[in-house]
Amino acid sequence: MRRRIGAALVAVLLTAVGCGSGQTGGAASDPNAALKVGVSPVPHAQVLRYVADNLAKDKGLKIEVVEFTDYVQPNTALVDGSLDANYFQTVPYLETFKAESGAKLEWIGPVHIEPLGVYSKKHKKLSDLPNGARVAVANDATNEARGLRLLQDNGLIKIKAGAEKTATIKDIADNPKNLEFVELEAAQLPRSLEDTDASVVNGNYAIDAGLKPANDALALEKAEGNPNANGLVTRAELKDDKRIKDLLELLQSQQVKDYIKQTFSGSVLAV
């Protein structure tokens, strides 16, 4: 099953939004408090710690880095006021979360792109995939559609016309190799490589698993025109906060662009 936000969780989120989540503490109630920013471990935490250790002091910013290993908790923690911002997601993922939860979160700006890739421990190229090969894709709405588009771009499947942005495996119109699709939580996709012929893995999880997207991927998303930049997100009441704007300025600075280029060697691309 594709993982959606459950009804109980939606109720909790709506309650938090209705009660004014910014009242729980942190930056919203104390302008001198450290900004608590939720991130995925790789590369987001690395980039944010570089900012916190090397650039934030000049802006008078204090940053507390809070790591999460999934794609749901950074948003729910932001909604309930445990965080002041997060940096892990794309605009399409954020819009899906907002539509399903009713959360009032705001996109502040893009930072980097992690190209989605197809990986395999059994095959050297996509054309080697046999008839009936098992292929794993993410089970959340945004990343599943993104993964299927990558497979379509490389000639493995065709998606029904008009369904590209929200595609699931049910929207596959043509599957000439009779690929068997397995839907998994995005964080589990690197581990699935032991059991699949190929898996479509998000860039951050690929890097965290020791894969090098620029070298190891059988197919990789193109950066040019890619709408899936990862960026900074906050709650509505903090969107105009000077510290949030200062943080985005640092995340988009030339120093950070140089750090990303030197550290990730093309596996992560600064916007």
- Domain range for 11 is 7-115+227-270
Predicted confidence (pLDDT) per residue in 196-237, tens digit: 999 999 999 999 999 999 899 999 998 777 888 999 999 999
Are the CB atoms for 173 and 158 separated by under 8 Å? yes
Instruction: State how many domains the chain has.
Output: 2
Domain presence at residue 96: yes
- Assess whether 163 and 91 both reside in one domain: no
Residues 6+ apart with CB under 8 A from 52: 61, 63, 65
Retrieve residue 83's tokens: 């965080």
Do both 98 and 231 map to the same domain?
A: yes
Task: Please state the pTM of the whole predicted model.
Answer: 0.77
State whether 80 and 203 are in the same domain: no
Task: Tell me the CATH number at 87.
Answer: 3.40.190.10
Whether residues 125 and 215 fall in one domain: yes
* pLDDT given for residue 188 in this prediction: 97
- 2 in a domain, yes or no? no
**pLDDT higher than threshold 80 for residue 136:** yes
Please state, in angstroms and rounded to a whole number, the distance separating the CA atoms of residues 61 and 52. 8
Q: Is residue 133 part of a domain?
A: yes
